[in-house]
Amino acid sequence: MKKTYEIAVIPGDGTGPEVVAEGLKILESVATLYDFACHITSYDIGGEHYLASGETISDELLESLKTKDAIFLGAIGHPDVKPGILEKGILLKTRFALDQYINLRPVKLYEGVYTPIKDKLPEHIDFVVVRENTEGLYAGAGGFLKRGTADEVAIQESINTRSGVERCIRYAFEFCKTRNQSHKLTLCGKTNVLTYAFDLWERTFYEVAEEYPDIEADYAHVDALCMWLIKNPEWFDVIVTDNMFGDIITDLGAMIQGGMGIAAGANINPAGVSMFEPIGGSAPKYTGQQKINPIAAILAVQLMLDTIGEKKAALSVEAGVAQVLKNDIQDVAAGQMGYSTREIGDRVIDYIKKQDRR
């Protein structure tokens, strides 16, 4: 019997549904070629749903997501909803409720893609950021005192637990082992100023590192790392960091790999249900115009296939994407591709079908 995966799909807002449609097209075609099946359940949540119902994501829906094999998310974000409501109410809530404690973001420059960094080639830009995804400044700890007065106090605390930090660091070492690279893991922190949080991170990092003698354990302060990601991206193989620094350096990473149109991320619970997304946002002004690049969503599908164990299908999707980027897409930016969203999806499928599968 064929293996059937239960996939939850959240197309979401703006251009989310358009790019999700292309991702699903690719998923269906590799399922046929690699002999597995996907049963899709679509969920109507996002800004539109919130404006109509006042609800972000219900507990029932979260429970239902927990029964799936994976979640594919398009984009959440609506111009008429105050910032913070959907981010916290949907995206962060799901990450936390499903304990997706790893945010994995590959940063890879594909052939044919323009990087704003002069003289850097695909062999120079190929690293992965492992971002802690459930703690740090994102935990929501803190509060106001005397809000709105001249004496107002606002406190936002970074929560770092030994177990939370350790499981993230262990994941990063294990992940680094699987990569065919320099086997170097860089801890990105700020041990010179954040002397509590990153003291814990640093101690844990070097303790765990002793179990991995074949991996070079390296450290960089976050500010210096920003500098080096531009000047010497080839120095990096895998980077592990906390939630906030990870958020920041992965946007930098998305730009040096060519732009948001091709940047994907995975929210992973290694023992549970993971969620895969293009990281670019809902781009409301392009809604329905077929101008957005679906490659980020297609690479999110690739990360999903890789995570659920369909490794061959994942490689096949990546190879199809690499060809479309090399041969067809003029510019990865919205409206500059030379093709519509749908046409890009079709081309990826054409390349996948032409691959040698012996």
Contact segment (CB under 6 A) with ligand IPM among 39-47, 85-93, 151-159, 252-260 equals 85-93
Count of CB atoms situated within 10 Å of the CB of 233: 21
Q: Which residue is nearest to ligand IPM (CB)?
A: 87
- Give the one residue of 25, 48, 62, 87 binding ligand IPM; rule: CB under 6 A: 87
Interface with Mn ion includes 247 (CB under 5 A)?
yes
Size of residue set near ligand IPM by CB under 6 A:
5
Give the whole-angstrom CA distance, residue 265 versus residue 300.
6
Give the whole-angstrom CA distance, residue 264 versus residue 280.
8
Compare residues 28 and 87 and give the one whose CB is closer to ligand IPM.
87
- For residue 71, list its beta bridge partners: 8, 275
- When CB distances are held under 5 to 8 angstroms depending on the partner's kind, the choice from Mn ion, ligand IPM, none that residue 91 binds is ligand IPM
Contact segment (CB under 6 A) with ligand IPM among 24-32, 84-92, 120-128, 166-174 equals 84-92
What length is written for the chain? 358
Q: Which residue is nearest to Mn ion (CB)?
A: 247
- Give the one residue of 107, 279, 329, 334 binding ligand IPM; rule: CB under 6 A: 279
Separate counts of helices (H) and strands (E) for the chain: 12, 12
* Footprint (CB under 6 A) of ligand IPM, residues 193-252: 247
Count of CB atoms situated within 10 Å of the CB of 166: 16
The answer for residues whose C-beta is within 8 angstroms of residue 323's C-beta and 6 or more apart is 351
Interface with ligand IPM includes 89 (CB under 6 A)?
no
Compare residues 29 and 160 and give the one whose CB is closer to ligand IPM.
160
The token pair at 17 is: 């549904």
Contact segment (CB under 5 A) with Mn ion among 239-247, 283-291, 310-318, 320-328 equals 239-247
- When CB distances are held under 5 to 8 angstroms depending on the partner's kind, the choice from ligand IPM, Mn ion, none that residue 87 binds is ligand IPM
Interface with ligand IPM includes 91 (CB under 6 A)?
yes
Question: Which residue is it, tokens 């990360």?
Answer: 303
Q: Minimum Å distance from CB 15 to ligand IPM?
A: 15
CB-CB contact of 321 with 302 (8 Å): yes
Residue 292's nearest CA partner among 328, 334, 347 is 334
* Footprint (CB under 6 A) of ligand IPM, residues 111-170: none
Question: Which residue is it, tokens 């091709």?
Answer: 262
Burial class (CB within 10 angstroms; exposed 0-12, middle 13-18, buried 19+) of 146: exposed
* Binding stretches for ligand IPM (CB under 6 A): 87, 91-92, 247, 279
